[in-house]
Amino acid sequence: MKHSVLAGLLAWAVCSGVQADSATDEIARYREMIADGNPSELFALQGEALWKQKRGPKNASLEQCDLGLGPGVVKGASARLPRYFKDTGKVEDLETRLMTCMQTLQGIDPKLVIDAPWGKGEKETMQALVAYIVTESNGEKIAIDMRPPQMKKMYELGKMAFYYRGGPMDFSCATCHGDKDKRIRLQDLPDLRTQAGAAAGWGTWPAYRVSNGQFWTMQHRLSDCFRQQRFPEPIYGSDVTIALSVYMAATGNGGTVLTPGIKR
Amino acid sequence: MKKLLLAAPLLWALQGVALANDELRPAFKAMLDASFKTTGIAAKYRIYQLDFQAACSQPKPPPASVQKAIEAAQMQTIRYPADGHYFGDWREGEKIAISGRGLTWTDKTPTDNGGGCYNCHQMSHHEIAYGTIGPSLLNYGNVRGRSEDIIKYTWGKIWNAKAFNACSNMPRNGDAEILTEEQIRHLMAYLFDPASPVNKP
Protein backbone atom coordinates (compact mmCIF):
# COMPACT_ATOMS: atom_id res chain seq x y z
CA MET A 1 0.00 0.00 0.00
CA LYS A 2 2.67 2.46 1.08
CA HIS A 3 4.48 1.53 -2.12
CA SER A 4 1.68 2.28 -4.54
CA VAL A 5 1.01 5.63 -2.89
CA LEU A 6 4.67 6.40 -3.24
CA ALA A 7 4.71 5.39 -6.88
CA GLY A 8 1.73 7.67 -7.50
CA LEU A 9 3.44 10.59 -5.87
CA LEU A 10 6.59 9.99 -7.87
CA ALA A 11 4.66 9.85 -11.11
CA TRP A 12 2.92 13.06 -10.14
CA ALA A 13 6.16 14.79 -9.28
CA VAL A 14 7.79 13.73 -12.53
CA CYS A 15 4.89 14.60 -14.84
CA SER A 16 4.00 17.94 -13.34
CA GLY A 17 7.68 18.81 -13.18
CA VAL A 18 7.81 18.97 -16.96
CA GLN A 19 5.50 21.98 -17.12
CA ALA A 20 6.81 23.73 -14.05
CA ASP A 21 8.59 27.04 -14.36
CA SER A 22 11.11 26.09 -11.76
CA ALA A 23 12.37 22.66 -10.95
CA THR A 24 13.26 23.89 -7.48
CA ASP A 25 9.66 24.77 -6.57
CA GLU A 26 8.61 21.34 -7.69
CA ILE A 27 11.18 19.60 -5.54
CA ALA A 28 10.20 21.77 -2.56
CA ARG A 29 6.57 20.72 -2.99
CA TYR A 30 7.63 17.14 -3.40
CA ARG A 31 9.69 17.34 -0.24
CA GLU A 32 6.65 18.58 1.67
CA MET A 33 4.51 15.76 0.38
CA ILE A 34 6.86 13.09 1.60
CA ALA A 35 7.84 14.97 4.75
CA ASP A 36 7.42 11.91 6.91
CA GLY A 37 8.81 9.33 4.56
CA ASN A 38 11.89 9.55 2.33
CA PRO A 39 11.95 6.79 -0.31
CA SER A 40 15.59 6.17 0.68
CA GLU A 41 14.38 4.67 3.96
CA LEU A 42 13.89 1.34 2.25
CA PHE A 43 17.52 1.34 1.06
CA ALA A 44 18.73 2.49 4.48
CA LEU A 45 16.92 -0.37 6.22
CA GLN A 46 18.51 -2.87 3.85
CA GLY A 47 21.86 -1.20 4.49
CA GLU A 48 21.56 -1.46 8.26
CA ALA A 49 20.82 -5.17 7.92
CA LEU A 50 23.82 -5.59 5.59
CA TRP A 51 26.08 -3.72 8.01
CA LYS A 52 25.24 -6.28 10.70
CA GLN A 53 25.16 -9.32 8.44
CA LYS A 54 28.06 -11.78 8.38
CA ARG A 55 29.27 -11.91 4.76
CA GLY A 56 32.26 -12.64 2.58
CA PRO A 57 35.08 -15.23 2.79
CA LYS A 58 35.75 -14.21 6.41
CA ASN A 59 32.07 -14.49 7.34
CA ALA A 60 32.19 -11.26 9.34
CA SER A 61 29.93 -8.22 9.70
CA LEU A 62 31.02 -4.59 9.19
CA GLU A 63 30.22 -3.65 12.77
CA GLN A 64 33.91 -3.15 13.56
CA CYS A 65 34.47 -0.89 10.54
CA ASP A 66 36.20 2.38 11.44
CA LEU A 67 34.66 5.16 9.38
CA GLY A 68 36.93 7.68 11.09
CA LEU A 69 35.29 8.07 14.48
CA GLY A 70 36.40 4.69 15.84
CA PRO A 71 35.34 1.08 15.17
CA GLY A 72 31.58 0.74 14.77
CA VAL A 73 30.73 4.45 15.11
CA VAL A 74 28.27 5.33 12.35
CA LYS A 75 26.55 8.38 13.80
CA GLY A 76 28.03 11.54 12.29
CA ALA A 77 30.72 9.64 10.38
CA SER A 78 29.78 10.57 6.82
CA ALA A 79 29.56 14.29 7.65
CA ARG A 80 33.32 14.06 8.30
CA LEU A 81 34.25 12.22 5.10
CA PRO A 82 36.41 12.25 3.01
CA ARG A 83 39.26 12.09 5.52
CA TYR A 84 42.85 10.91 5.78
CA PHE A 85 43.17 7.40 7.27
CA LYS A 86 46.44 6.43 8.87
CA ASP A 87 45.81 2.69 8.54
CA THR A 88 45.64 2.81 4.73
CA GLY A 89 47.76 5.93 4.30
CA LYS A 90 45.09 7.26 1.96
CA VAL A 91 42.39 9.86 1.76
CA GLU A 92 39.13 7.92 1.45
CA ASP A 93 35.53 8.92 0.83
CA LEU A 94 32.63 6.93 2.27
CA GLU A 95 32.56 4.45 -0.59
CA THR A 96 36.29 3.75 -0.77
CA ARG A 97 36.40 3.48 3.03
CA LEU A 98 33.60 0.91 2.92
CA MET A 99 35.54 -1.03 0.27
CA THR A 100 38.53 -1.02 2.63
CA CYS A 101 36.38 -2.39 5.48
CA MET A 102 34.74 -4.99 3.25
CA GLN A 103 38.20 -6.16 2.22
CA THR A 104 39.89 -6.18 5.63
CA LEU A 105 36.97 -7.38 7.76
CA GLN A 106 35.02 -9.55 5.33
CA GLY A 107 37.64 -10.49 2.75
CA ILE A 108 35.55 -9.14 -0.12
CA ASP A 109 37.74 -8.16 -3.11
CA PRO A 110 37.27 -4.42 -3.94
CA LYS A 111 37.23 -5.37 -7.62
CA LEU A 112 33.81 -6.95 -7.06
CA VAL A 113 32.50 -3.51 -6.13
CA ILE A 114 34.52 -1.56 -8.68
CA ASP A 115 33.59 -3.77 -11.64
CA ALA A 116 29.87 -4.23 -10.84
CA PRO A 117 27.41 -2.14 -12.88
CA TRP A 118 25.50 0.58 -10.95
CA GLY A 119 22.77 -0.97 -8.84
CA LYS A 120 23.95 -4.54 -9.40
CA GLY A 121 25.91 -7.07 -7.31
CA GLU A 122 28.27 -5.54 -4.78
CA LYS A 123 27.40 -2.03 -6.05
CA GLU A 124 23.85 -2.68 -4.90
CA THR A 125 25.21 -3.69 -1.50
CA MET A 126 27.31 -0.54 -1.46
CA GLN A 127 24.29 1.67 -2.24
CA ALA A 128 22.32 0.22 0.65
CA LEU A 129 25.23 0.56 3.08
CA VAL A 130 25.74 4.16 1.98
CA ALA A 131 22.03 4.95 2.40
CA TYR A 132 22.16 3.61 5.97
CA ILE A 133 25.34 5.43 6.93
CA VAL A 134 24.45 8.84 5.50
CA THR A 135 21.03 8.73 7.15
CA GLU A 136 22.95 8.66 10.45
CA SER A 137 24.55 12.01 9.58
CA ASN A 138 21.38 13.76 8.48
CA GLY A 139 21.23 17.25 10.03
CA GLU A 140 24.90 17.29 11.09
CA LYS A 141 27.39 19.92 9.97
CA ILE A 142 29.87 19.18 7.19
CA ALA A 143 33.11 18.94 9.19
CA ILE A 144 36.08 18.01 7.01
CA ASP A 145 39.40 17.84 8.84
CA MET A 146 41.75 19.75 6.59
CA ARG A 147 44.78 19.62 8.90
CA PRO A 148 46.58 16.56 7.45
CA PRO A 149 48.91 17.54 4.59
CA GLN A 150 47.46 14.65 2.57
CA MET A 151 44.08 16.41 2.70
CA LYS A 152 45.58 19.72 1.63
CA LYS A 153 47.21 18.01 -1.34
CA MET A 154 43.97 16.27 -2.33
CA TYR A 155 42.14 19.58 -2.09
CA GLU A 156 44.61 21.24 -4.44
CA LEU A 157 44.43 18.32 -6.88
CA GLY A 158 40.63 18.45 -6.68
CA LYS A 159 40.61 22.14 -7.44
CA MET A 160 42.85 21.56 -10.46
CA ALA A 161 40.49 18.80 -11.63
CA PHE A 162 37.50 21.08 -11.15
CA TYR A 163 38.89 23.62 -13.62
CA TYR A 164 40.47 21.08 -15.99
CA ARG A 165 38.99 21.51 -19.46
CA GLY A 166 39.17 18.79 -22.02
CA GLY A 167 37.33 16.41 -24.31
CA PRO A 168 35.46 17.17 -27.52
CA MET A 169 33.30 19.85 -25.85
CA ASP A 170 36.12 21.59 -23.91
CA PHE A 171 34.08 21.29 -20.69
CA SER A 172 35.31 21.32 -17.11
CA CYS A 173 33.23 21.05 -13.94
CA ALA A 174 33.44 24.84 -13.83
CA THR A 175 31.65 25.14 -17.19
CA CYS A 176 28.47 23.97 -15.49
CA HIS A 177 29.16 24.68 -11.81
CA GLY A 178 31.41 27.74 -11.93
CA ASP A 179 28.97 30.63 -11.90
CA LYS A 180 26.02 31.66 -9.80
CA ASP A 181 22.35 31.10 -10.65
CA LYS A 182 22.86 29.11 -13.84
CA ARG A 183 20.84 26.24 -15.15
CA ILE A 184 20.97 23.60 -17.88
CA ARG A 185 17.55 23.49 -19.46
CA LEU A 186 15.41 23.58 -16.27
CA GLN A 187 17.94 22.08 -13.88
CA ASP A 188 19.50 24.48 -11.41
CA LEU A 189 23.27 24.16 -11.17
CA PRO A 190 24.94 24.78 -7.81
CA ASP A 191 27.95 27.12 -7.92
CA LEU A 192 30.43 24.70 -6.40
CA ARG A 193 33.14 27.35 -6.00
CA THR A 194 31.27 28.98 -3.12
CA GLN A 195 30.62 27.74 0.42
CA ALA A 196 26.84 27.95 0.02
CA GLY A 197 26.85 26.26 -3.39
CA ALA A 198 29.21 23.50 -2.34
CA ALA A 199 27.28 22.90 0.88
CA ALA A 200 24.06 22.56 -1.13
CA GLY A 201 25.61 20.46 -3.88
CA TRP A 202 27.80 18.22 -1.74
CA GLY A 203 25.65 18.15 1.38
CA THR A 204 22.52 16.79 -0.29
CA TRP A 205 24.20 13.74 -1.83
CA PRO A 206 23.83 10.73 -1.88
CA ALA A 207 20.25 11.10 -3.03
CA TYR A 208 17.12 9.38 -4.18
CA ARG A 209 16.35 10.39 -7.77
CA VAL A 210 12.67 10.87 -8.41
CA SER A 211 13.06 10.80 -12.19
CA ASN A 212 14.29 7.21 -12.30
CA GLY A 213 13.44 5.87 -8.83
CA GLN A 214 17.09 5.07 -8.16
CA PHE A 215 19.31 5.74 -5.18
CA TRP A 216 22.57 7.33 -6.35
CA THR A 217 25.77 7.51 -4.33
CA MET A 218 28.18 10.44 -4.74
CA GLN A 219 30.45 8.27 -6.89
CA HIS A 220 27.51 7.70 -9.22
CA ARG A 221 26.69 11.42 -9.33
CA LEU A 222 30.28 12.30 -10.22
CA SER A 223 30.48 9.60 -12.85
CA ASP A 224 27.37 10.92 -14.56
CA CYS A 225 28.71 14.48 -14.52
CA PHE A 226 31.92 13.26 -16.17
CA ARG A 227 29.72 11.53 -18.74
CA GLN A 228 27.94 14.79 -19.52
CA GLN A 229 31.33 16.47 -19.62
CA ARG A 230 32.18 14.03 -22.47
CA PHE A 231 35.20 12.79 -20.56
CA PRO A 232 36.22 9.14 -20.48
CA GLU A 233 34.73 7.15 -17.61
CA PRO A 234 36.26 7.69 -14.17
CA ILE A 235 37.16 4.43 -12.44
CA TYR A 236 34.98 3.84 -9.39
CA GLY A 237 36.71 5.21 -6.29
CA SER A 238 39.68 6.55 -8.29
CA ASP A 239 41.71 9.45 -6.96
CA VAL A 240 40.18 12.04 -9.27
CA THR A 241 36.78 11.34 -7.68
CA ILE A 242 38.29 11.54 -4.17
CA ALA A 243 40.15 14.76 -4.96
CA LEU A 244 37.00 16.41 -6.33
CA SER A 245 35.06 15.19 -3.30
CA VAL A 246 37.62 16.73 -0.93
CA TYR A 247 37.49 19.99 -2.90
CA MET A 248 33.69 20.16 -2.75
CA ALA A 249 33.30 18.94 0.84
CA ALA A 250 36.00 21.26 2.19
CA THR A 251 34.52 24.20 0.28
CA GLY A 252 31.14 23.38 1.83
CA ASN A 253 32.59 22.99 5.35
CA GLY A 254 30.17 24.22 8.02
CA GLY A 255 27.09 23.68 5.86
CA THR A 256 24.34 21.30 6.83
CA VAL A 257 24.21 17.69 5.69
CA LEU A 258 20.77 16.74 4.38
CA THR A 259 21.20 13.12 3.43
CA PRO A 260 19.90 11.15 1.75
CA GLY A 261 18.75 13.98 -0.52
CA ILE A 262 15.78 13.88 -2.87
CA LYS A 263 16.51 14.97 -6.42
CA ARG A 264 14.72 15.29 -9.67
CA MET B 1 46.06 16.08 -34.52
CA LYS B 2 46.41 19.37 -36.37
CA LYS B 3 44.85 21.13 -33.39
CA LEU B 4 47.79 20.34 -31.18
CA LEU B 5 49.98 22.42 -33.44
CA LEU B 6 48.91 25.93 -32.66
CA ALA B 7 50.52 29.06 -33.96
CA ALA B 8 53.99 29.73 -32.59
CA PRO B 9 53.03 33.04 -30.92
CA LEU B 10 50.60 31.14 -28.70
CA LEU B 11 53.27 28.73 -27.54
CA TRP B 12 55.58 31.60 -26.66
CA ALA B 13 52.78 33.37 -24.85
CA LEU B 14 51.88 30.25 -22.90
CA GLN B 15 55.42 29.83 -21.64
CA GLY B 16 55.01 33.19 -19.97
CA VAL B 17 51.99 32.06 -17.98
CA ALA B 18 52.87 30.89 -14.50
CA LEU B 19 50.46 28.03 -14.02
CA ALA B 20 49.20 27.64 -10.48
CA ASN B 21 50.45 24.60 -8.59
CA ASP B 22 53.38 23.91 -10.89
CA GLU B 23 54.91 21.55 -8.34
CA LEU B 24 51.70 19.48 -8.25
CA ARG B 25 51.56 19.04 -12.05
CA PRO B 26 53.28 15.63 -12.16
CA ALA B 27 51.07 14.27 -9.35
CA PHE B 28 48.02 15.68 -11.11
CA LYS B 29 48.93 14.09 -14.40
CA ALA B 30 49.60 10.73 -12.73
CA MET B 31 46.24 10.99 -10.96
CA LEU B 32 44.38 11.56 -14.22
CA ASP B 33 46.25 8.72 -15.91
CA ALA B 34 45.28 6.30 -13.16
CA SER B 35 41.69 7.51 -12.77
CA PHE B 36 40.13 7.19 -16.21
CA LYS B 37 39.41 4.36 -18.63
CA THR B 38 38.03 4.10 -22.14
CA THR B 39 34.33 3.22 -22.25
CA GLY B 40 32.55 2.98 -25.59
CA ILE B 41 33.39 5.94 -27.82
CA ALA B 42 34.70 8.01 -24.87
CA ALA B 43 38.36 7.10 -25.30
CA LYS B 44 40.82 7.68 -22.51
CA TYR B 45 42.96 10.07 -24.55
CA ARG B 46 40.18 12.65 -24.15
CA ILE B 47 41.78 13.60 -20.83
CA TYR B 48 44.82 14.98 -22.66
CA GLN B 49 44.45 18.68 -23.31
CA LEU B 50 44.82 20.90 -26.32
CA ASP B 51 46.99 23.97 -25.63
CA PHE B 52 44.11 26.40 -25.34
CA GLN B 53 42.18 24.03 -23.05
CA ALA B 54 45.18 24.02 -20.71
CA ALA B 55 45.44 27.81 -20.84
CA CYS B 56 41.75 28.06 -19.90
CA SER B 57 41.90 25.62 -16.95
CA GLN B 58 42.45 28.10 -14.14
CA PRO B 59 39.87 29.97 -12.01
CA LYS B 60 40.84 33.14 -13.87
CA PRO B 61 41.21 33.46 -17.65
CA PRO B 62 44.78 33.84 -18.94
CA PRO B 63 46.28 37.31 -19.69
CA ALA B 64 44.81 39.28 -22.59
CA SER B 65 47.85 38.59 -24.78
CA VAL B 66 47.36 34.84 -24.42
CA GLN B 67 43.65 35.14 -25.12
CA LYS B 68 44.39 37.13 -28.27
CA ALA B 69 46.84 34.49 -29.45
CA ILE B 70 44.31 31.71 -28.84
CA GLU B 71 41.58 33.60 -30.68
CA ALA B 72 43.84 34.22 -33.68
CA ALA B 73 44.78 30.53 -33.86
CA GLN B 74 41.18 29.35 -33.46
CA MET B 75 40.02 31.81 -36.13
CA GLN B 76 42.16 29.88 -38.62
CA THR B 77 40.06 26.75 -38.06
CA ILE B 78 36.77 28.22 -39.24
CA ARG B 79 35.56 26.75 -42.52
CA TYR B 80 32.88 28.74 -44.27
CA PRO B 81 30.46 26.89 -46.57
CA ALA B 82 32.25 26.25 -49.85
CA ASP B 83 29.12 26.76 -51.96
CA GLY B 84 28.21 29.99 -50.14
CA HIS B 85 24.97 28.49 -48.79
CA TYR B 86 24.55 29.44 -45.15
CA PHE B 87 20.96 28.37 -44.57
CA GLY B 88 19.09 25.07 -44.33
CA ASP B 89 15.71 24.25 -42.82
CA TRP B 90 14.83 25.87 -39.47
CA ARG B 91 12.60 22.89 -38.52
CA GLU B 92 15.62 20.61 -38.66
CA GLY B 93 17.59 23.30 -36.84
CA GLU B 94 15.15 23.26 -33.94
CA LYS B 95 15.58 19.51 -33.48
CA ILE B 96 19.36 19.87 -33.45
CA ALA B 97 19.16 22.78 -30.99
CA ILE B 98 16.99 20.76 -28.58
CA SER B 99 18.92 17.50 -28.76
CA GLY B 100 21.75 17.25 -26.27
CA ARG B 101 22.75 13.76 -27.31
CA GLY B 102 26.13 12.68 -28.52
CA LEU B 103 29.77 11.93 -27.70
CA THR B 104 29.23 10.43 -24.23
CA TRP B 105 30.24 6.88 -23.36
CA THR B 106 26.57 5.84 -23.54
CA ASP B 107 26.19 7.12 -27.12
CA LYS B 108 26.77 4.52 -29.79
CA THR B 109 28.02 6.53 -32.73
CA PRO B 110 30.17 9.60 -33.11
CA THR B 111 27.84 11.08 -35.73
CA ASP B 112 24.29 12.44 -35.65
CA ASN B 113 25.00 14.49 -32.52
CA GLY B 114 22.71 17.17 -31.15
CA GLY B 115 23.91 20.74 -30.70
CA GLY B 116 22.64 20.97 -27.11
CA CYS B 117 22.03 24.68 -27.72
CA TYR B 118 19.03 24.69 -25.37
CA ASN B 119 21.24 23.46 -22.55
CA CYS B 120 22.70 26.95 -22.50
CA HIS B 121 20.52 29.34 -24.54
CA GLN B 122 16.97 30.62 -24.67
CA MET B 123 16.00 30.51 -28.35
CA SER B 124 12.36 30.21 -29.42
CA HIS B 125 9.30 31.97 -28.07
CA HIS B 126 7.73 28.61 -27.24
CA GLU B 127 10.37 26.39 -25.67
CA ILE B 128 10.61 27.17 -21.94
CA ALA B 129 13.10 24.44 -21.00
CA TYR B 130 16.22 26.46 -21.73
CA GLY B 131 19.46 26.86 -19.80
CA THR B 132 21.20 30.10 -18.90
CA ILE B 133 24.93 29.43 -19.28
CA GLY B 134 24.88 31.39 -22.55
CA PRO B 135 22.99 34.60 -23.45
CA SER B 136 19.41 34.53 -24.72
CA LEU B 137 19.21 34.19 -28.51
CA LEU B 138 15.51 35.05 -28.65
CA ASN B 139 14.69 37.13 -31.76
CA TYR B 140 18.28 36.60 -32.93
CA GLY B 141 17.74 37.41 -36.61
CA ASN B 142 15.45 40.35 -35.85
CA VAL B 143 17.78 41.84 -33.25
CA ARG B 144 21.14 41.23 -34.92
CA GLY B 145 19.92 41.83 -38.45
CA ARG B 146 20.82 39.78 -41.52
CA SER B 147 23.86 41.54 -42.90
CA GLU B 148 26.66 39.52 -44.46
CA ASP B 149 28.92 40.37 -41.53
CA ILE B 150 26.45 39.08 -38.97
CA ILE B 151 25.78 35.93 -40.98
CA LYS B 152 29.49 35.19 -41.29
CA TYR B 153 30.11 35.99 -37.62
CA THR B 154 27.32 33.68 -36.49
CA TRP B 155 28.53 30.82 -38.67
CA GLY B 156 32.01 31.33 -37.25
CA LYS B 157 30.75 31.50 -33.68
CA ILE B 158 28.91 28.20 -34.07
CA TRP B 159 31.91 26.64 -35.85
CA ASN B 160 34.42 27.72 -33.23
CA ALA B 161 33.28 29.94 -30.34
CA LYS B 162 36.89 30.20 -29.11
CA ALA B 163 37.82 32.31 -32.12
CA PHE B 164 35.85 35.17 -30.54
CA ASN B 165 36.32 34.44 -26.82
CA ALA B 166 39.36 32.30 -26.02
CA CYS B 167 37.91 30.60 -22.94
CA SER B 168 34.26 30.55 -24.01
CA ASN B 169 32.09 27.92 -22.37
CA MET B 170 30.56 27.18 -25.77
CA PRO B 171 31.84 24.10 -27.64
CA ARG B 172 33.62 24.28 -31.01
CA ASN B 173 30.79 22.63 -32.92
CA GLY B 174 32.41 22.64 -36.37
CA ASP B 175 36.09 22.53 -35.44
CA ALA B 176 35.67 19.66 -32.96
CA GLU B 177 33.43 17.83 -35.43
CA ILE B 178 30.45 17.79 -33.09
CA LEU B 179 28.13 18.97 -35.86
CA THR B 180 28.30 18.70 -39.65
CA GLU B 181 28.18 21.64 -42.06
CA GLU B 182 24.66 20.55 -43.00
CA GLN B 183 23.53 20.66 -39.36
CA ILE B 184 25.06 24.10 -38.88
CA ARG B 185 23.13 25.35 -41.94
CA HIS B 186 19.90 24.18 -40.26
CA LEU B 187 20.85 25.99 -37.04
CA MET B 188 21.61 29.15 -39.00
CA ALA B 189 18.11 28.98 -40.50
CA TYR B 190 16.69 28.48 -37.03
CA LEU B 191 18.45 31.66 -35.83
CA PHE B 192 17.79 33.86 -38.88
CA ASP B 193 14.67 32.70 -40.76
CA PRO B 194 11.83 35.19 -40.18
CA ALA B 195 9.45 32.21 -40.03
CA SER B 196 11.47 30.43 -37.32
CA PRO B 197 9.99 30.45 -33.78
CA VAL B 198 13.17 32.25 -32.73
CA ASN B 199 12.03 35.30 -34.67
CA LYS B 200 8.27 34.84 -34.82
CA PRO B 201 6.24 35.03 -31.59
Instruction: Tell me: pLDDT of B2 over 50.
Output: no
Q: Are residues A14 and A79 in the same domain?
A: no
CB of A185 closer than 8 Å to CB of A264: no
- CB of B106 within 8 Å of any CB in chain A? yes
Q: What is the CA radius of gyration of chain A?
A: 18
Instruction: Tell me: pLDDT of B157 over 60.
Output: yes
From the list A170, A172, A182, which residue is nearest B172 (CB)? A170
Q: If pLDDT is split at 50, 70 and 90, which confidence band does B18 have?
A: very low
Query: Has residue A144 been placed in a domain?
Result: no
Range of the domain at A181: 149-263
Q: Are residues A33 and A44 in the same domain?
A: no
Q: Collect all residues of chain B within an 8 Å Cβ-Cβ radius of residue A167.
A: 46-47, 103
Q: What is the mean pLDDT of chain A?
A: 89
Q: Which of B32, B44, B77 to mutate to test the interface with A (most CBs of A within 10 A)?
A: B32
Chain center to CA of B23: 31
Query: Does A225 qualify as catalytic in the annotation?
Result: yes
From the list A157, A183, A232, which residue is nearest B42 (CB)? A232
Sequence letter at residue A242: I
Tell me the pLDDT tens digit for each residue of A52-86.
Answer: 999 999 999 999 999 999 999 999 999 999 999 99
Query: Has residue B165 been placed in a domain?
Result: yes
Query: Has residue B8 been placed in a domain?
Result: yes
In angstroms, the CA B174 to CA B184 distance is: 8
pLDDT above 70 covers a percentage of chain B that reads 89
Non-local (6+) Cβ contacts of A47 within 8 A are A127, A128, A129, A130, A131, A132, A133
Query: Has residue A142 been placed in a domain?
Result: no
In angstroms, the CA B153 to CA B172 distance is: 14
Tell me the pLDDT tens digit for each residue of A137-183.
Answer: 999 999 999 999 999 999 999 999 999 999 999 999 999 999 999 99
Q: Which residues pair with A233 in a beta bridge?
A: B37
User: Cα–Cα distances in Å, from B165 out to A109, A119, B17, B70?
Assistant: 49, 42, 18, 9
Look at residue A28 in the predicted model and tell me its pLDDT. Answer: 64
Alpha helices in A139-194 (DSSP H): 149-162, 173-177
pLDDT above 90 covers a percentage of chain B that reads 86
Query: Has residue B78 been placed in a domain?
Result: no
Q: Are residues A79 and A29 in the same domain?
A: no
Look at residue B105 in the predicted model and tell me its pLDDT. Answer: 96
Query: Has residue B58 been placed in a domain?
Result: no
Look at residue B22 in the predicted model and tell me its pLDDT. Answer: 84
CB contact (8 A) between residue A228 and residue B171? no
- We report the CATH number of the domain holding residue B105 as 1.10.760.10
Range of the domain at B132: 90-192
Kind of pairing between the strands at A90-92 and A83-85: antiparallel
What letter does residue B63 receive in the DSSP assignment? Answer: P
**In degrees, to the nearest 5, what angle opens at C-alpha B108 toward C-alphas A164 and B177?**
55
Query: Has residue A140 been placed in a domain?
Result: no
Query: Has residue B151 been placed in a domain?
Result: yes
Tell me the pLDDT tens digit for each residue of A12-51.
Answer: 333 333 333 444 554 565 556 556 678 889 999 999 999 9
CB contact (8 A) between residue A166 and residue B47? yes
Q: If pLDDT is split at 50, 70 and 90, which confidence band does B8 have?
A: very low
Query: Has residue A127 been placed in a domain?
Result: yes
Hey, which residues 20-49 in chain B have their CB within 8 Å of chain A? 20-21, 24, 27-28, 31-32, 34-39, 42-44, 46-49
Look at residue A24 in the predicted model and tell me its pLDDT. Answer: 58
**In degrees, to the nearest 5, what angle opens at C-alpha A214 toward C-alphas A118 and A188?**
105
Q: Are residues B43 and B96 in the same domain?
A: no
Q: Are residues A31 and A110 in the same domain?
A: no
**In degrees, to the nearest 5, what angle opens at C-alpha A208 toward C-alphas A205 and A214?**
125
Alpha helices in chain B (DSSP H): 8-15, 25-35, 51-55, 64-75, 90-98, 117-120, 140-144, 148-159, 181-192
- CA-nearest of A131, A109, A112 to A121 is A112
Query: Has residue A181 been placed in a domain?
Result: yes
- CB of B17 within 8 Å of any CB in chain A? no
Q: Which residues pair with B42 in a beta bridge?
A: B39
